[in-house]
Structure 1
Amino acid sequence: MNKLIVVAAITLLVVLAISITFGSIFFEVVGFFKLLRVSYQSFSSLLLFIFLYFIIGLILDFISIVFIKLATQNITGKTKPFIIRMIIDCLFSWIAFHTADEIIGGIDIPLITEIIAVLFFYLVEIAFEAKEKGKGE
């Protein structure tokens, strides 16, 4: 009986942690889209957009990492590799964002908003990487 309670408690904690994570991502995207005046028909279409964007983005992220490694392996300095990484990373992120936007019919994101969102996500990613490097040193 004790094992059943422990398994149930752990399962509940995992479900709660996943729910909080996805809920916060969902409401952050809702707030971001409200600021940029993105129109969507329902929360379910927005949820589907987020899910599809993450799936497509996950696949394209692996491809972009390969392109970034190949493009920057023989380049020295800090500025050129940073710019190349930014271009490749933002391009692949925009492809994922735009593809998810085109597939989901209940959401309409203008091109300039897609570009702003991709640049914002890139800058957030760079900021978190810099913060993690600062902790490790």
Structure 2
Amino acid sequence: MFMRIDHVGIACHDLEERIAFFQRTFDLTVVAREINEEQGVKEAMLRISDGQGGGSYIQLLEPLGPDTPVGKFLAKRGEGVHHVAFGVPDVARALEEVGSRGVRLLDETPRHGSMGSSIGFLHPKDVGGMLTELVQAAEGQPETTQEARNADT
């Protein structure tokens, strides 16, 4: 079912500060920036590598407010790993399969994710306490299409 680790989501208070840290420390490149009102975050995707089935990233998440899921996470736990996302070929099918195996779904149907992807979340209590995201990359990706549209906007 899983093709790769798509990204690791990291909650932070200051997106620009965290971007600068990851660029300076690990030589990572920002390939996309977005404001996702539905999820209540400003985010940046930093490429780690390209591979078969797509790229791998660090996703930095700054909440748009204290009452958003990431805002609540930061208030309770502080900065750090928020979720792990796995690349799948078909997120709707993956959600259906995982749900049929007894894992509660936070998303019954796919929704919009970073860089034009389709995503769905699994309930952390059913996955060993880990918020888990399933990601189907946008049609036509590799990332170069998105990179031209989103980098440094």
Q: TM-score, normalised by structure 2?
A: 0.27
Q: TM-score, normalised by structure 1?
A: 0.29
- Greater helix share, 1 or 2? 1
Bigger radius of gyration, 1 or 2?
1
